[in-house]
Each structure stands twice: as structure tokens, then as C-alpha cells.
Structure 1
Amino acid sequence: MTSPQSPGWNATTTQTATRTTTVVSPQIRFDKLYIQTIPGILKAVVVVLNLIGFICIEVSRWSHHSRGEYFNFVAMCGFWFSGIMLVFYVFHVVEKFFRIPWLKIEFGFYALWTLMYLIAACLAVTFSPTAYTVAGFFGFLAMIVYGYDAFLKYNLIRAGAIAQGSRSVEQTTTVQQTTLPTVSAVTTY
């Protein structure tokens, strides 16, 4: 039975369609403007910080101490990974191979390297040579940059972005409302 206020029953159907468009350029090209973006600046800064920290440990006469060896391992792995990623972004290699989850790879490395630099810098500053203290300072700076970059990558992953190129998501919702005719109630005794 229908309620006395409505002439019939209402039926509502909702359809949602999502269309994702990814636009990338498959050509490798040099883009000097990438260095001026925030991710480009972060990569360039961290490459320099890694190199300075490595040099500080190497000029010390205690460079072969286990703390120095660990710090140099962290600094050189960070230097090479960040340097290679910087080159990949500047030459749009990342855009050419957009199906590789670059943001997840970078997020994982940067989050791990934030922790690795925390350990390496703490070990360096608690050792007495001045070169280790200076290296530890640059290690803490690198830790902050890696942590901030990991935070940015995490936000991009959550937003569904790709590393380079553009992705647009278009969502359309269609609502149809139909009124079915009233059925008279027959009462029998």
C-alpha cells in the first residue's frame, strides 16, 4: 500500500561513471625547468648534502671507523639513488615509463633513508672528531629533506597522481527517479 500523501512509489537509480585520462609524452627530452620545481630542488639539495657528508667523513683521519663506514654507505646510496632519479626526471625517463610505480619506489626509499640518516647522523655526532660532527649536521639536514620528500610522495600516492605527466579523473553521476503508479488496495473479509 502507498502512503496517503504520495500518489505512487518512487524508485531511484544512481549510476556513477569514472573516466581516467593519462597524458604522457613518450619522448626522452631535456627539461631544465624541472630543477626549479620543489621536487627538483629537493633532489638537487639532497645530492649536495649527501656529497658534503661523505667528504666530511673521508677527510677525517678516522674515516675507516665503523661509524664513518656506515655514514658513508648511507650517504653514497642516497647520492646515487637521488642523483639517478634527478637525471630520470630531468630527461623525462620517468614519464616515458609511467607504468612503473615511481612514486611508490621513491616514497619507500625516502622513508627508509630518513630513518637510515637519523641513525647515521646520531652515530656521527656522538663520535668526538669534528669532521664527524659536521657530517652529522649535514646528515640531519639530509634526513629532514628526505622526510619532507617522502611526505610529498605519500600525498601524491594518496591523490592517485603519477610521477610525471598528467592524469585527470572525470566522474559523472546520473540520477534517475521514476514514479510507479499507485496500486489500489483491495480489502476482502
Structure 2
Amino acid sequence: MDPESALPSTHRTYTTTTTTIDTTVRFDPSYVRSLPGTLKVAQLVLNLLGFICVSVARNSRAHNANWFSFVSMGGFWITLILLLLFLFHIIEKLHFIPWLLAETVYCAIWTFIYFTAATAVSSMSNYEGVFIAASVFGYIAMLVYGFDAYLKYISWKAGELAQGNRKTTTTTVPT
């Protein structure tokens, strides 16, 4: 005989589930060795290399070069801020922000604008060879941002957290 079937019909069992996320700010250098961390570091390096290539060109004031400089430095600073937020686990403290969705949108936008910037600067390759190098770095950055956007999208659709783990506690209370 089932123990609950012997109870009066007014007996009910309530289950309470509590989800907690560790929100302590701490430095975690192991993030750089993870795939998302490695992608961010690669994006930083490609942004910086592309910017340097365009900056040393004699025609660095041309509108195509300025567009590429804006894209590479914008990507550098935004990605650096995101990397620092992840390195110090500040993302977990701000867990109410849909980080995976935000990063998916950011990476997708940067994929597109890197395509336009790399194409614009490659059109100037007749003037200086350094623009060829900048466009190569730009196209590689476009691919890295696109791959990162894809991974973030998959994680977002799966309902994963951007960083950290959920700790779920289930309590069953008979009343």
C-alpha cells in the first residue's frame, strides 16, 4: 500500500525549488583558456593588428581607413570590457541581463560591420600593401566574431547561463 494513499484526501505535498547563482566578484584567469575566453582574446588581437596596419599607412586618413579604424577600435574596447567582466565574474553579479543574447547580437553585428570594413579597406590595396594585411585581419576577425555569435546563439537557445552554474535546491513539504 502506498503511504500517501493512506493519508486523508485533504493532504497535499508542495515542492519548492530555489535556484541560486554565486555572485561573488573574483578573478578567474582560467576563463582565458576556455573557448569563449580564447575567442575574445583572438578578437582583441585581430582588432589591434588591423588597427595598427591601417594606422601606419600613408593613406590612413582616407574615409575607408577611418571606417576600418572605427570598427577595429570599437570592437577592441567592447570586447576588452566583456573579457574583463567575465574574468572577474561580474557577469554572474549581473545575471538578470540576458548576456548570451546580448553577446549574440553584438557578435552578429560586428561580423557584418567587419565584412564592410574589411571590404572597404581591401579596395584601397592598390595604394598600399599594408591595406591588404588590414583586410586579411579584418576578414579573419569577421569569421571569429561570426563563429562566436553562432556559439552564443546555440547556448542561448539551450537556456544556458553566460557564466557560472545554477545551484538548485528542491524541498518537499507535506501539509
- TM-score w.r.t. structure 2 length? 0.82
Q: Report if the CA contact (8 A) 1:21-1:167 is conserved.
A: no
**Aligned equivalent of 2:84:** 87
Tell me the SS of whatever aligns to 1:28: coil
**Aligned equivalent of 2:152:** 153
Q: Report if the CA contact (8 A) 1:71-1:121 is conserved.
A: yes
1:30 aligns with 2:30: no
Q: How many residue pairs end up in the alignment?
A: 153
Q: Report if the CA contact (8 A) 1:57-1:68 is conserved.
A: yes
Q: Shift of the alpha carbon at 1:20? A: 7.2
**Aligned equivalent of 2:172:** none
Matched to 1:131, the amino acid is V
Q: Report if the CA contact (8 A) 2:28-2:88 is conserved.
A: yes
CA RMSD of aligned residues (A): 1.9
Q: Shift of the alpha carbon at 1:125? A: 1.3
1:43 aligns with 2:40: yes
| Counterparts of 1:51 and 1:22, CA distance in 2 | 40
**Aligned equivalent of 2:69:** 72
Q: Shift of the alpha carbon at 1:167? A: 3.6
Matched to 1:71, the amino acid is F
- TM-score w.r.t. structure 1 length? 0.76
Matched to 1:156, the amino acid is S
| Counterparts of 2:84 and 2:38, CA distance in 1 | 13
Comparing both structures, which one devotes a greater share of its residues to helix?
Answer: 2
| Counterparts of 1:71 and 1:40, CA distance in 2 | 24
Q: Report if the CA contact (8 A) 1:20-1:167 is conserved.
A: no
Q: Shift of the alpha carbon at 1:22? A: 4.1
Matched to 2:147, the amino acid is Y
Q: Report if the CA contact (8 A) 1:92-1:164 is conserved.
A: yes
**Aligned equivalent of 2:8:** none
Comparing both structures, which one devotes a greater share of its residues to strand?
Answer: 1
Matched to 2:145, the amino acid is Y
Identical columns (%)? 43
| Structure 1: tracts of 5 or more residues without a match | 1-18, 170-189
Matched to 1:154, the amino acid is Y
* Greater Rg by CA: 1
**Aligned equivalent of 1:97:** 94
**Aligned equivalent of 2:134:** 135
Give 1:117's match in structure 2, choosing from 107, 114, 132: 114
**Aligned equivalent of 2:103:** 106
| Structure 2: tracts of 5 or more residues without a match | 1-15, 169-175
Deviation digits for residues 16-38 of structure 1, max 9, x if unmatched? xxx87644211110001000000
